[in-house]
Structure 1
Amino acid sequence: MNATDRTPADLLRTALADDPARPLVTFYDDATGERVELSVATFANWVAKTANLLQDDLGAEPGDRLALLLPAHWQSAVWLLACSSVGVLVDLSGDAARADLVVSGPDTLEAARACTGERVALALRPLGGRFPQPPEGFADYAVEVPGQGDRFTPYVPVDPEAPALALPDGTELSGAQVADRARADAGERGLTAGSRLLSALPFDSWAGLSAGLLAPLAAGGSVVLAPRLGLLDDAALGARRESERVTHTAV
């Protein structure tokens, strides 16, 4: 845990410097059997590519508002850190009409059409697969992101005091406040380096974002993200905890 990190993107840079090979995000879709594990280095590579897509292809600038219409998913976590890298505010309110850009999953495309700016759609298929038929009016993330650069440098330095996250309850947090809250949550949960938190919380509140990414990241730990954990019986849940070496839970 590094108290000098001022933004979520800073937290990721510290994790990358400390131990790039360790697991950071493990994602389960218990409806399909999908399991994806991303090391810090692999996750950071996805973040860099997505930040380059944001900055170069989508023309996003610091202060722009991006409506994030995605469920708890490893790709949602990537977008959160990519926005932090560019200085784009992530809006979880679901109001695409107020946003400069929108990122949507397959179930929220109609709501996303209210955005008059750039629109990106994610199929959320296993292995980051693309849509069989790209939705009209949207760029397909799985098509656009692979060709982006593996390193990212913002054209304009990100201001840690600028708004970075808008929550559904109307609260807006700066990048510095997000990082501070993440460190505080990590302490309250007893997370330390090597902790592994199993989270089934949705990404529609601070609690979900914190448990599902930010607090484990701030602590030097990792997250097992399983939003459909309720599909498992007690025996399968116990086996999951054991196989993933879970030390903490948020359900």
Structure 2
Amino acid sequence: MNANDRTPADLLRSALAADPGRPLVTFYDDATGERVELSVATFANWVAKTANLLQGDLAAEPGDRAVLLLPAHWQTAVWLLACSSVGVVADVGGDPAAADLVVSGPDTLEAARACSGERVALALRPLGGRFPQPPGGFADYAVEVPGQGDRFAPYAPVDPDAPALAVGGAELSGAGVVERARADAGRLGVTAGSRVLSGLSYGTWEGLSCGLYAALAVGGSVVLCRHLDQLAEGGLEKRVEDERVTVTVR
């Protein structure tokens, strides 16, 4: 990766320039049997579309705070990088009442209604499907994002030293996220080409780093597993083998 990368969005741009066809995020939901694999190029396309939605339709600006009430999921990873692209603070599990906008999964819609700003709902259905019945007061992400542009350019440059991520009571700048992610990669033995399997929640820095940032920072990829506790006996060992996992974090 580029040593000059100072935000998570920078890391993604470098990954796209280096090898757009390699896997970046492989997602499993062991409650539904879903498996989704996104290459760097496909993931970056989702990020660009989401960033255009965020900056355009939702009128988000650098410094705005987006509370993400979302589980460890490939679409959550997309939103984290979209926020970085725009300069919006991604507040994972924060207070919707204090947010400029909220992005909610299907299980947290009532809590999300405390936000007086824009509200976006994710059904988290296989293949990025929409809600059968759109929740009142929310924009359905699966309806809004497909028509967005495939390329993104921020209206204003993103300051790497400005707040970028809040999780677990701590707040990090974009540069801070990159620095900590690189340090975690070194500690975990994650290098270019590594495959990191994570069953951790995105509600902590450790979960975010093991499930996204550390691998992204050094040219690796993640196998992100939701509801890993519902995997049949022996299933984890098979997945590690099938996915060529080199680092496992649970």
Q: Aligning the two structures, in what range does the TM-score lie when normalised by the shorter sequence?
A: over 0.9
Cα deviation for residue 238 of structure 1 reads: 1.0
Partner Cα distance (2:107, 2:6) in 1: 34
Cα deviation for residue 190 of structure 1 reads: 0.8
Cα deviation for residue 77 of structure 1 reads: 0.1
What is the DSSP-based 3-state SS (H/G/I as helix, E as strand, rest coil) of the residue aligned with 2:63? coil
Residue in 2 aligned with 1:59? 59
Superposition pairs of residues 102-121 of structure 1, within 5 angstroms: 102-121=102-121
- Number of residue pairs aligned between Structure 1 and Structure 2: 250
Equivalent residue letter for 1:112: A
Partner Cα distance (1:93, 1:121) in 2: 14
What is the DSSP-based 3-state SS (H/G/I as helix, E as strand, rest coil) of the residue aligned with 1:161? coil
Residue in 1 aligned with 2:240? 241
Cα deviation for residue 234 of structure 1 reads: 3.7
Residue in 2 aligned with 1:100? 100
Partner Cα distance (1:212, 1:104) in 2: 19
What is the DSSP-based 3-state SS (H/G/I as helix, E as strand, rest coil) of the residue aligned with 2:14? helix
What is the DSSP-based 3-state SS (H/G/I as helix, E as strand, rest coil) of the residue aligned with 2:226? coil
Partner Cα distance (1:91, 1:187) in 2: 26
Contact 2:70/2:93, CA 8 A, preserved across alignment: no
Calculate percent identity across the aligned residue pairs.
Answer: 77
Superposition pairs of residues 147-166 of structure 1, within 5 angstroms: 147-166=147-166
Residue in 1 aligned with 2:5? 5
Cα deviation for residue 3 of structure 1 reads: 2.1
Equivalent residue letter for 2:109: L
| TM-score of the two chains, using structure 2 as the length reference | 0.99
Cα deviation for residue 235 of structure 1 reads: 1.5
RMSD value, Cα? 0.8
Cα deviation for residue 227 of structure 1 reads: 2.1
Residue in 2 aligned with 1:185? 184
Partner Cα distance (1:188, 1:228) in 2: 26
Residue in 2 aligned with 1:44? 44
Structure 1 alignment gaps of length 5 or more: none
What is the DSSP-based 3-state SS (H/G/I as helix, E as strand, rest coil) of the residue aligned with 1:6? coil
| TM-score of the two chains, using structure 1 as the length reference | 0.98
Cα deviation for residue 93 of structure 1 reads: 3.7
Partner Cα distance (1:168, 1:60) in 2: 23
Structure 2 alignment gaps of length 5 or more: none
